[in-house]
Amino acid sequence: MTRSEAHLLGPAEIRELADKLGVSPTKKLGQNFVHDPNTVRRIVAAGDVTSSDHVVEIGPGLGSLTVALLDTAQRVTAVEIDPRLAAELPETVAQRAPFGDLTVVNKDALQVTATDVESPTALVANLPYNVSVPVLLHFLEIFPSIERVLVMVQAEVADRLAAQPGSKIYGVPSVKADFYGDVRLAGNIGRRVFWPEPNVDSKLVRIDRRDRFDHAVRPEVFALIDAAFAQRRKTLRAALSGHYGSGQAAEDALVAAGIDPKLRGERLSVDDYVRLAR
């Protein structure tokens, strides 16, 4: 038995902890806890977590992934909205990864600001599925120090994040994630590794930050993306007429950026949106 297997949380430990805390997992907070040591090890490996990383984890829950992360990472800051789970986490870590450097932030991840977490280098998390995309984009925006992301999300959301221009599922999350870096699928996860079992499949998504664009253009780029996809079936000329004040103004901007005004927003890459914003 390796050192990791000795202290990672399995099904019996997860149920015991939940019983102790009187926690019955809620759908509202997307509480599906991983009770499979192999899965958390896989997540840490897929995130290429190293001993110099300061990992920020969103939604540590009962701590399965947190303990695995602390086995490798120098430091982990865990952001948990549920006060019972946030309060128990240091205790779980003290028992199972006593060498680990853990900070817990008991807060809604969407309300986290740059001062709550000190320059994280990686984001690794089994995200709460109901807020996965906004939380992911929020963290990429406020923490430019995050170089790598490895998140587990609902399979359908993973596919959307990694979709390419022109595909049916290419949408706002795909283009916005592309703004920050290279996005790719990093594996499938079965339902049975969770307690309780969710009624959707899950996938891992990896993002490697590549700061290709000046962050000053981000608000305008994201406004254009929102406008283009709000009326997905319209041409860009029509969809962006509100944004530019008129159809003609939208057409002029598109032509100046070398984009055919008759195209739909789903055909454009993030580079096109950035060119248009400039």
Binding residues: 32, 34, 59, 80, 108, 126
CA 58 vs CA 46, 63, 108, 112: distances in Å: 17, 11, 9, 10
Q: Is 76 helix (H, G, I), strand (E, B) or coil?
A: strand
Binding residue positions for S-adenosyl-L-methionine: 32, 34, 59, 80, 108, 126
Does 58 participate in binding ligand SAM (rule CB under 6 A)? yes
Assigned token pair, 145: 């120090």
Interaction of residue 189 with ligand SAM, rule CB under 6 A: no
Q: Cα–Cα distance between 205 and 158 in angstroms, integer?
A: 6
* Number of residues in the chain: 278
Q: Which residues contact 10 (CB under 8 A, 6 or more apart)?
A: 35, 36, 37
- Binding track, positions 62-101, relative to ligand SAM; x by CB under 6 A: x-xx-------------xxxx--x----------------
User: 63: buried, middle or exposed (CB in 10 Å: 19+, 13-18, 0-12)?
Assistant: buried
Asked whether position 59 contacts ligand SAM by CB under 6 A, the answer is yes
Residue 181 in contact with ligand SAM, rule: CB under 6 A: no
The C-alpha atoms of residue 267 and residue 258 are separated, in whole angstroms, by 13
Q: Which is nearer to ligand SAM, 193 or 207 (CB)?
A: 193
Cβ at position 56, least distance to ligand SAM in Å: 11
Residue whose C-beta lies closest to ligand SAM: 59
Comparing CB distances to ligand SAM, the nearer of 55 and 254 is 55
Least separation in angstroms between residue 79's CB and ligand SAM is 5
Interface with ligand SAM (CB under 6 A):
29-34, 58-62, 64-65, 79-82, 85, 108-110, 126, 128, 131
